[in-house]
Amino acid sequence: MSSAVYRKIRNNPRFADLVGRRSRYAWTLSAIVMVIYFSFIMVVGFNPKLLATPLGEGVTTSWAIPVGVTIVVLFWLLTGLYVRRANADFDAISAEIVKEALK
């Protein structure tokens, strides 16, 4: 009966530990994305001149360009960070917990 297995898993202290660590990780990453994104939107809204600054003397390209591209790349890397950690660490622990419960 799967309900019995679920109970066993729930009573395993490692389960609470795993869930706690994984959600802390997910929420931390979400908070980082949130802060970066809303800072960017606030600069766009309240101080766009900051982004208009050219990269150097006599250069047309403004700071807005590398900042924007960095955001796109960085968000992708953060997603990748989560995937790596989840697929390697978290899932291995999760599989062990399930295995223990099935014994």
Chain positions contacting other proteins, by CB under 8 A: 2-3, 5-6, 9-10, 15, 18-19, 22, 26-27, 29-30, 33, 37-38, 40-46, 48-49, 51-52, 54, 59-62, 64-65, 68-69, 71-73, 75-76, 78-80, 82-83, 86-87, 91, 94, 97-98, 101
Token pair 């208009």 is at which residue? 52
**Tokens describing residue 57:** 């003397």
Shortest separation between residue 88's beta carbon and other proteins, angstroms: 10
74 contacts 35 by C-beta, under 8 angstroms: no
CA–CA separation, 33 and 81 (whole Å): 13
Shortest separation between residue 75's beta carbon and other proteins, angstroms: 5
Closer Cβ to other proteins, 13 or 42, answer by number: 42
Q: Phi first, then psi: what are they for 62, rounded to 5°?
A: -95, 170
